[in-house]
Structure 1
């Protein structure tokens, strides 16, 4: 019953719906007590030859009246109870989605997408069933079952009622035992379903890679194995689930036998009439549903408990990002990093060390270095995907960014990550993501700045072209440029391009950077890159290696220093010149033998 205690907050919100629904259930239970009484009285009048046509018509009208009232009451309890349970599902989904949206990247790094999807679908459905069908079954069992038992005892025979109820304690013991086993098996089955969910999502997202490597058969085999595991674990659940109805039916059968055996003897002994025995057995038949409902209730509660525990575990997980706000507005200003040492949560290895620099407002920062040198780590700290420890700080306009409202802070940025995520909608909607009401002209302007307008115009549907999941139907360069257009839509105070020009050629890169420079006067830009040409015109360039700054300055000062930056720039320039010369030779037909 712990799941009902945990859901107490919701029952308080919906107490009016549940009170009305339960009241209607009580009325239905009372209405259902009438027909057996009518049947018993008709039989007694037949046996005593006192039944008249007027009496029969009167009983018939009474039954019709009871049937109409029962229909009305059943309609309203369904609307009230099931309506409330559906609102619970909506509330839990909203709470869970809000929780997901507020959690830090480390939260998603520790959990599979399939698990998170299963919490928002199967688990919430199981809890919703508990608050709907679960409430119904326990209320119906108690109200209907209790009303029938009391009526049997008061209108027929207390002794016969007691005899008929002898097998019921065995049913309670057995169904409780089944329920405890079911709860454990259901958690295992839900975990298996999460794994299958994760596999499905991963396979669909990576279908191009799978096909490129000809891995379809192996992928299908992995999916089949996971699917078989889900079936196997759910079959175990089904086997325990299947024990409820036969057990309850067997208990009812024993009760029927005892009732008829001892009831017949009581009729012969004139303790009760034949009509009363028929009424009693009819009432006993009415006990079948409450007892079956009781078994179903244990089933639903155990499923709901297992699912709510999984949901609660997520809801009780604290974000590693502090949300305490001590400063209201966020003025744009200089960005200063003063980080002596930083490690990602759960890792002992130092990721950043001795990161000290200041980027003036309106300037452009270039961050270069080998893969894994720490370029993106700096960006993630600035975006507050992770927080620094005490003694370290990242400030904007002299105020630690941890003191700002995180939503307002991130509103300063236009961010293009390395992983260019596009939604399964039109190109126009992807670009206008942060401003859905933007006009087509605004969208086209942003696309023009990111040098993607001509590509989009060449598509048959233009800006209304629907891209596949994660932009699967586009090239890498097109996805990058659409992502840049999305970041430029609202002309952010701080534009961040995190290795977001790697899939475009040198000419396109130059055009995009030129557009940004011309159209973002007075705005701050941060560019991380592997190609030195992307940061050549930056006001400040920092060179990263193993999480440390090994060089910083302008392009001119760094080339004069003849360090890593100079050597890399020289090598890349030579490679670019050789490639350009080779292209010109091939275009001129200069393909000569040695």
Structure 2
């Protein structure tokens, strides 16, 4: 019964609704007592040859009243109990999804998407069944079983009732024993479903890579192995679940045997009438549902208990990014000062950044370059407040960024990663995602700045063209430029381009950077890139290595230092000349 205790907060909040539902169940049980008794009376009247038209009409009227009464009372409990259960699912679904939106980057590194989806669907449905079917099974087994039992004892014969229900306690023992095993098996079942969900989501998202590498059959085999594992786990759950019905049927059969033997004897001894025996048999049939309900109750509770623990484990996760309720609500502006002495990612002892400092005035551009894993993206993540536990300070406009409210700070930052996520919507909807009320003129302005205007003009539906899931219908360069346009539309105080021009050609890159320089002369820009041509015009360039600053200065100053920057620039310039020469040769051929 622990799941009912865990959901006590909801039952207390909705006690009026559940009380109304329980009243409906009680009325349903009371009305259900009438038909068996009426049938028994009619049988006795027929047996004694005393059935008249008046008595028949009277008894048929009672049956009609009982039928309409059950109709109304069933409507009462169904709307109340199932409605409350649906409201609980809605409450938990909103709470869980809202919690997903509040959690930080480290949470999503520890949990896979398929697992989170499984808990937001399968597990919530199992909890909803507790608040609906579980309450029904618990209350109705007591109310219907109790009222029927009382009717059997008072209206028929108490000794016959005691003998007939004698096998019923066996059900409680069976349900308790099987319930414990089902709880363990169902936890394994939910975990297997999460793994299968992960596999399906990963395969669908990576279908291009799978097909390009010719790994379709291997992936199918892997998926089928996951399916087989899930089926095997669920078979154990089903085997345990299937034991309820046969054992319940056996208990009912024993009860009927006792009724036939003892009831027939009592009829022969004229202790009860044959009509009483017919009524008793009908009442005994009505006891089948409460018996089944008890068995189903343990099953429902164990499943719900396992699912509730899985969901609450997520809800109890705490974000390491703290949004101060009394934080600064002013939009940040001015000089950006970054001074980090040391930072490492959660659960990782390796130092990701050390002794990195720079000051960037409004209207200036900072370039950040370096080898893969040098720390470029880490700087961006700290600026985006994805991680807040570091040694040092980051100030924007003389205010520590940790002192800003997230609602004030983040809208002032436009971030464009290398692989910007696009929604399965139109080009316009993706651009206006952070500013839905943007005018067409504003949209066209940022599209022109991002160098995408000519591309969109050739789309069949223009701005209404659907980009597909994650922008599958667009090229890599088009996706990057659309993401840049989306960031520019909010007119951010700080624009961060994290290798966001890697998929465009050099000419387009130069045009975009020129547009940004002209339009954002009073706003701050940070460009992290592998292609050094992206940062040549920056006011300062940082060369990172192993999480620290190896070189710094303008393009000309770094070229004069003859370090990593100079060597990489010369190599990339040579590669560009070689590629241009090949294109010229192809054109001449």
* Partner of residue 386, structure 2: 385
Shift of 1:489: 1.1
Q: Which moved more, 1:456-465 or 1:57-66?
A: 456-465
* Partner of residue 339, structure 1: 340
Is this contact kept in 1: 2:329–2:407, CA < 8 A? Answer: no
Q: Distance in 2 between matches of 1:159 and 1:488?
A: 84
Residues 474-495 of structure 1 show CA distances to partners (whole Å, capped at 9, x for unaligned) of 2111111111111111111111
Q: Distance in 2 between matches of 1:144 and 1:327?
A: 57
* Partner of residue 108, structure 1: 108
Corresponding residue SS for 1:392: strand
Shift of 1:20: 1.1
1:62 lines up with 2:62 in the alignment: yes
Q: Distance in 2 between matches of 1:251 and 1:323?
A: 59
Q: Which moved more, 1:204-213 or 1:441-450?
A: 441-450
Write out aligned runs for 1:115-194 (5 A): 115-194=115-194
Is this contact kept in 1: 2:22–2:77, CA < 8 A? Answer: yes
Shift of 1:12: 2.5
Corresponding residue SS for 1:377: helix
Residues 186-208 of structure 1 show CA distances to partners (whole Å, capped at 9, x for unaligned) of 11111111111111111111111
* Partner of residue 498, structure 1: 498
1:365 lines up with 2:362 in the alignment: no
Is this contact kept in 2: 1:450–1:482, CA < 8 A? Answer: yes
Could you say what the CA RMSD is over the residues aligned between the two structures, in angstroms?
1.5
Corresponding residue SS for 1:49: coil
Is this contact kept in 1: 2:189–2:233, CA < 8 A? Answer: yes
* Partner of residue 289, structure 2: 289
Shift of 1:439: 2.9
Shift of 1:340: 1.0
1:75 lines up with 2:75 in the alignment: yes
Q: Distance in 2 between matches of 1:583 and 1:418?
A: 27
Tell me, which stretches of 5 or more residues in structure 1 are unaligned?
none
Residues 25-56 of structure 1 show CA distances to partners (whole Å, capped at 9, x for unaligned) of 11101000000111111122223332211011
Q: Distance in 1 between matches of 2:137 and 2:523?
A: 63
Shift of 1:515: 0.9
Write out aligned runs for 1:202-213 (5 A): 202-213=202-213
Q: Which moved more, 1:20-29 or 1:401-410?
A: 401-410
* Partner of residue 236, structure 1: 236
Shift of 1:110: 1.0
Shift of 1:348: 0.9
* Partner of residue 261, structure 2: 261
Is this contact kept in 1: 2:328–2:408, CA < 8 A? Answer: no
Corresponding residue SS for 2:324: coil
Corresponding residue SS for 2:369: strand
Corresponding residue SS for 1:521: coil
Q: Distance in 2 between matches of 1:222 and 1:254?
A: 49
Q: Distance in 2 between matches of 1:435 and 1:323?
A: 23
Q: Distance in 1 between matches of 2:218 and 2:586?
A: 42
Structure 2 length as normaliser, TM-score?
0.97
Corresponding residue SS for 2:211: helix
Corresponding residue SS for 1:557: helix
Is this contact kept in 1: 2:432–2:489, CA < 8 A? Answer: yes
Q: Which moved more, 1:321-330 or 1:533-542?
A: 321-330
Is this contact kept in 2: 1:175–1:295, CA < 8 A? Answer: yes
Is this contact kept in 2: 1:476–1:503, CA < 8 A? Answer: yes
* Partner of residue 353, structure 1: 354
Corresponding residue SS for 1:411: helix
List, as ranges, runs of 4+ consecutive aligned residues in structure 1 with deviation greater than 4 Å. none
Q: How many residues align?
A: 588
Residues 211-245 of structure 1 show CA distances to partners (whole Å, capped at 9, x for unaligned) of 11111111111111111111111111111111111
Is this contact kept in 2: 1:325–1:403, CA < 8 A? Answer: no
Is this contact kept in 2: 1:341–1:354, CA < 8 A? Answer: yes
Residues 527-569 of structure 1 show CA distances to partners (whole Å, capped at 9, x for unaligned) of 1001111111112211100100111222232222222222222
Shift of 1:444: 2.2
Q: Distance in 2 between matches of 1:191 and 1:302?
A: 15
Is this contact kept in 2: 1:325–1:404, CA < 8 A? Answer: no
Write out aligned runs for 1:3-42 (5 A): 3-42=3-42
Residues 63-101 of structure 1 show CA distances to partners (whole Å, capped at 9, x for unaligned) of 111111211221222111111111211111111111111
* Partner of residue 448, structure 2: 448
* Partner of residue 423, structure 2: 423
Shift of 1:582: 4.6
Corresponding residue SS for 2:243: helix
* Partner of residue 199, structure 1: 199
Q: Distance in 2 between matches of 1:411 and 1:439?
A: 18
Q: Distance in 1 between matches of 2:346 and 2:203?
A: 29
Q: Distance in 2 between matches of 1:206 and 1:61?
A: 68
Shift of 1:326: 4.4
Q: Distance in 1 between matches of 2:579 and 2:357?
A: 37
1:537 lines up with 2:543 in the alignment: no
Shift of 1:367: 0.6
Is this contact kept in 2: 1:413–1:492, CA < 8 A? Answer: yes
Q: Distance in 1 between matches of 2:185 and 2:447?
A: 53
Corresponding residue SS for 1:513: helix
* Partner of residue 409, structure 1: 409
Is this contact kept in 2: 1:165–1:255, CA < 8 A? Answer: yes
Is this contact kept in 1: 2:21–2:77, CA < 8 A? Answer: yes
Q: Distance in 1 between matches of 2:88 and 2:465?
A: 37
Q: Distance in 2 between matches of 1:146 and 1:477?
A: 71
Corresponding residue SS for 2:443: helix
Is this contact kept in 2: 1:364–1:526, CA < 8 A? Answer: yes
Shift of 1:325: 4.0
* Partner of residue 527, structure 2: 527
Tell me, which stretches of 5 or more residues in structure 2 are unaligned?
none
* Partner of residue 481, structure 2: 481
Is this contact kept in 1: 2:127–2:305, CA < 8 A? Answer: yes
Corresponding residue SS for 1:414: strand
Q: Distance in 1 between matches of 2:120 and 2:570?
A: 53
Shift of 1:441: 2.9
Shift of 1:183: 1.0
Is this contact kept in 1: 2:420–2:480, CA < 8 A? Answer: yes
Q: Distance in 2 between matches of 1:85 and 1:548?
A: 55
